[in-house]
Chains A and B, each alone.
Chain A
Amino acid sequence: MSTVELTLKQQPELYLETEKITPDSFAGKSADEIAALDVYEGNLTHKLGDFFTISGTPGQTAQDTVIKVKGDLLRIKWIGAKMTAGKVIVDSNTDMYTGAFMEGGEIIVNGNTGHFTALGMKGGNIHIKGSAGNYLGAAYRGDWRGMMGGVLRVDGDAGSDVGTFMRGGEIIIGGNTDVHVGTHQEGGKIVVKGNAKSKVGGQMVKGEIIVFGTIDVMMPGFAHRDNIDLEVDGAKATFKRFEGDLGERHPKSKGKVIYGQLYIKA
């Protein structure tokens, strides 16, 4: 594994779109070639080297490449978007779309991420040590496919609209979430270690939501079925099992209707 280190030397006046900060676009390039990659500020096109100092060399392939991004990255969008392999380590808070449409590899963020983190994620691992904004692992506007695969772990809290239209993969949130968890969910698993407010599992078709804390207001379309013991993310506990959303369409498998599963710690 070869490491490239990017350090922010110049804050953009507005915000910078840096979807080129991925192992895929860095692999096999020299530091000068990396510095010459395009980044965008409004309607202007700049070079990556105008804003970042670049040291180290990437690997020959994305898989062999590690990118460390340093500096105050609060005005930087799209880090690690669409990456397929390799590793990105972000040493600060970042803005929107971190790891959006990611297909593989790993992203570690030692801070908070903005809204639309891991939007439409297909695979790979993301670990956010801080908190995430709204639309974590949700679908892009108008798309009926949200997060499709991979593992998305947030140690802190998440905003609203976690996993909207989620169809696969796993989201684990260490803290609390705002409203709307797993709206239109049709697969995958969302774990909330803290509390969720309300609108949990609205219009849910399939999949699982597991809440360790409380839900302020339950959706009317969830019916309590039984209590079961589960091991979730290394913790064993007894959960109340609900099925829903009873107002939504549901597929049948072997003559049996498949409902979304909502577990709340008993």
Chain B
Amino acid sequence: MTKLITDVVCPFCGTLCDDLEVVVSDDGKELLEVNNACAIGAEKFLHSQAKDRLTRPRMRNEDGSWREVSYDEAAEFTAQMLAKSKKPLMYGWSSTNCESQVVGSHVAELVGGQLDNTATVCHGSTLIAVQDVGVPSCTLGEIKNRADMVVFWGCNPAHAHPRHMSRYSLFPRGFFTAKGHRGRTAVVVDPRPTDSANLADIYLPVEQGRDYELLSALRVAFRNEQLPDVVAGISKEKIYEVAEKMKNARFGCIFFGMGVTHSLSNNHNIDIAIQVTRDLNEFTKWSIMPMRGHYNVTGAGEVWGWQFGFPFCVDLSRGFARYNPGESSSNDLLMREEIDSVFVLGSDPGAHFPFSSVKKMNALPCVVVDPHITPSTVVADLHVPVAFVGVEVGGCAYRMDSVPIESHKVVDAPEGMLTDEEFLKLVLARVKEIKGV
């Protein structure tokens, strides 16, 4: 007999779907089937069942080969590395639960570390813009129930957040949106005709790196001022038309992604998109929301927000929290050689950072805590595999609209494996001993 577990929360992307169903074996040890999830989410669950999965920490030998070590030895090595460093970088924190992030924050505070999460190469520019000009946002539930116009700017949910459009933004029928997608106008702004653009009523093929100009043009249009004939590759007639549609929507939302946060202008793109939203609220109701990537990157920002006052790039080296992306951001720290050790948990910088940064990681003492073998573990001196959060251990995660959702455990982790939180607690206890606090 197998068991069906319902209302499972998916620990893959920031959409944090909470309607998954998982079939597990009678003894609760094996995960057999995943229903309702997108292809990526299902794979995340099934991947935990890999037979060749690492279940014990491993330390690199002089000759580059690995030897198995105990979790205690791993915690000892990690604590010594962090406590002896002048400026350790503690990066990642986005594919884990808030409980682990809290323990990690305590460790960072004791060792005077640099805390940074994946927002640094993702929606960090959004966080900078929000700090500069504020943000009028809402929950995904409001969009499902109220929105009659959605704009996807520089994001491609059809591939990156596969169930976003069906659960919240484009297709669902809600309380005031009984017609589903037939009652919604969708606009996609992207230099490339993506699969999301295929679903759009209006597609604006903006010139690469000119989003700032196009957003500015919308603001000019809202104020009925004159525009040049063409802005960012879009004719002024089209811009006036879209601006008019936006003003006449009942409830709209701008969703945006890496296409604007990490192209020319970065935070300024978001800054002006927020001001577009603010302008629109003089005519009707509009919101704006980042398409957050990792399922709990929002949570990392929330936890550090309440602990330190800053959502990413937190510099604790002087005993109080400072923050300045450009200085205390992981890639700047690595490339400028401002740090002397690297601790990674819940992310894979080896795969996503520029090669010049990864080379510096390779040269420094480096500990990676990750259930998988990844490009980051390749440059690590110590690799600590842990239980999958959201699959083998529950915990709190924040959805992209900053709504906290409690995820559940569905199967047991392999015998003797620790969770992120348990391992960090070992490290914290040992750091306390070394520091004498």
B228 at the interface (CB under 8 A from A): yes
Distance from B229 Cβ to chain A, minimum over Cβ atoms (Å): 10
A103 at the interface (CB under 8 A from B): no
Distance from A179 Cβ to chain B, minimum over Cβ atoms (Å): 6
Q: Tell me whether A40 and B317 are in contact in the complex, defined as CB-CB below 8 angstroms, given that A134-B326, A202-B212 are known contacts.
A: yes
Whether the pair B132, A142 counts as a contact (CB closer than 8 A) is yes
Whether the pair A14, B340 counts as a contact (CB closer than 8 A) is yes
Interface of B is mostly: loop
Whether the pair B217, A220 counts as a contact (CB closer than 8 A) is yes
Distance from B319 Cβ to chain A, minimum over Cβ atoms (Å): 8
Distance from A6 Cβ to chain B, minimum over Cβ atoms (Å): 22
Chain A residues with CB below 8 A from B213, complex form: 198-199, 217, 219-220
Whether the pair A247, B220 counts as a contact (CB closer than 8 A) is yes
Whether the pair B86, A14 counts as a contact (CB closer than 8 A) is yes
Whether the pair A220, B227 counts as a contact (CB closer than 8 A) is yes
Chain A residues with CB below 8 A from B325, complex form: 141
Whether the pair A221, B225 counts as a contact (CB closer than 8 A) is yes
A108 at the interface (CB under 8 A from B): no
Contact among B132, B212, B228, B336 for A144, CB-based, below 8 A? B132
User: B193-226: which residues lie under 8 A (CB-CB) from chain A?
Assistant: 210, 212-213, 216-220, 222-223, 225-226
What is the CA–CA distance of A179 and B211 in the complex, to the nearest angstrom? 13
Q: Which residue of A lies closest to B316 (CB)?
A: A43
From A115, A134, A140, A217, name the one whose CB has the most chain B CB atoms within 10 angstroms. A217
A41 at the interface (CB under 8 A from B): yes
Residue total for B at the interface (Cβ-Cβ under 8 A): 43
Contact among B86, B212, B220, B275 for A42, CB-based, below 8 A? B86
Chain A residues with CB below 8 A from B265, complex form: 179-180, 199
Whether the pair A219, B87 counts as a contact (CB closer than 8 A) is no
A203 at the interface (CB under 8 A from B): yes
Contact among A40, A140, A199, A218 for B212, CB-based, below 8 A? A199
B327 at the interface (CB under 8 A from A): yes
Q: Tell me whether A43 and B86 are in contact in the complex, defined as CB-CB below 8 angstroms, given that A179-B265, A220-B227 are known contacts.
A: yes
Whether the pair A220, B326 counts as a contact (CB closer than 8 A) is no
Whether the pair A220, B228 counts as a contact (CB closer than 8 A) is yes
Q: Tell me whether A245 and B216 are in contact in the complex, defined as CB-CB below 8 angstroms, given that A43-B317, A179-B264 are known contacts.
A: yes
Chain B residues with CB below 8 A from A140, complex form: 324
A112 at the interface (CB under 8 A from B): no
Chain B residues with CB below 8 A from A202, complex form: 212, 216, 268, 272
Whether the pair A247, B317 counts as a contact (CB closer than 8 A) is no
User: A163-204: which residues lie under 8 A (CB-CB) from chain B?
Assistant: 165, 179-180, 183-184, 198-199, 202-203
What is the CA–CA distance of A43 and B109 in the complex, to the nearest angstrom? 11
What is the CA–CA distance of A180 and B210 in the complex, to the nearest angstrom? 12
B131 at the interface (CB under 8 A from A): yes
For the side of the interface on A, what is the size category?
Answer: 35 or more
A96 at the interface (CB under 8 A from B): yes
Q: Which residue of A lies closest to B326 (CB)?
A: A115
Distance from B320 Cβ to chain A, minimum over Cβ atoms (Å): 12
Contact among B86, B216, B220, B279 for A44, CB-based, below 8 A? B86
A263 at the interface (CB under 8 A from B): no
What is the CA–CA distance of A144 and B134 in the complex, to the nearest angstrom? 11
Chain B residues with CB below 8 A from A246, complex form: 220, 223, 225-226
A233 at the interface (CB under 8 A from B): no
CB 8 Å contact bits of B273-285 with A (1 = contact, 0 = none): 0010001000000
Q: Tell me whether A247 and B219 are in contact in the complex, defined as CB-CB below 8 angstroms, given that A40-B317, A202-B212 are known contacts.
A: yes
What is the CA–CA distance of A135 and B132 in the complex, to the nearest angstrom? 14
CB 8 Å contact bits of A198-217 with B (1 = contact, 0 = none): 11001100000000000001
Chain A residues with CB below 8 A from B270, complex form: none
Whether the pair B112, A220 counts as a contact (CB closer than 8 A) is no
What is the CA–CA distance of A96 and B328 in the complex, to the nearest angstrom? 12
Whether the pair A223, B226 counts as a contact (CB closer than 8 A) is yes
From B128, B272, B337, name the one whose CB has the most chain A CB atoms within 10 angstroms. B272
What is the CA–CA distance of A198 and B232 in the complex, to the nearest angstrom? 12
Whether the pair B340, A247 counts as a contact (CB closer than 8 A) is no
Chain B residues with CB below 8 A from A219, complex form: 213, 216
Whether the pair B225, A247 counts as a contact (CB closer than 8 A) is yes
Whether the pair A42, B85 counts as a contact (CB closer than 8 A) is yes
Chain B residues with CB below 8 A from A32, complex form: none
Whether the pair B338, A15 counts as a contact (CB closer than 8 A) is yes
Chain A residues with CB below 8 A from B279, complex form: 247
Contact among B222, B231, B268, B337 for A199, CB-based, below 8 A? B268
B339 at the interface (CB under 8 A from A): yes
Distance from B365 Cβ to chain A, minimum over Cβ atoms (Å): 14
User: B220-258: which residues lie under 8 A (CB-CB) from chain A?
Assistant: 220, 222-223, 225-228, 231
CB 8 Å contact bits of A139-150 with B (1 = contact, 0 = none): 011101000000
What is the CA–CA distance of A199 and B223 in the complex, to the nearest angstrom? 20
Whether the pair A13, B340 counts as a contact (CB closer than 8 A) is yes
Chain B residues with CB below 8 A from A220, complex form: 213, 216-217, 220, 227-228, 231
What is the CA–CA distance of A141 and B309 in the complex, to the nearest angstrom? 13
User: B88-144: which residues lie under 8 A (CB-CB) from chain A?
Assistant: 111-112, 128, 131-132
Chain B residues with CB below 8 A from A26, complex form: none
Chain A residues with CB below 8 A from B223, complex form: 246-247
Chain A residues with CB below 8 A from B319, complex form: 43
Chain A residues with CB below 8 A from B326, complex form: 115-116, 134-135
Chain A residues with CB below 8 A from B87, complex form: 14, 41-43
Q: Which residue of A lies closest to B217 (CB)?
A: A220
Apart from the given pairs A14-B87, A116-B326, A220-B228, 8 other A-B contacts in the complex at a CB distance below 8 Å: A14-B340, A42-B317, A115-B327, A179-B265, A180-B268, A203-B272, A220-B216, A246-B225
A interface with B by C-beta (< 8 Å): 13-15, 17, 40-44, 96, 115-116, 134-135, 140-142, 144, 165, 179-180, 183-184, 198-199, 202-203, 217-221, 223, 245-248
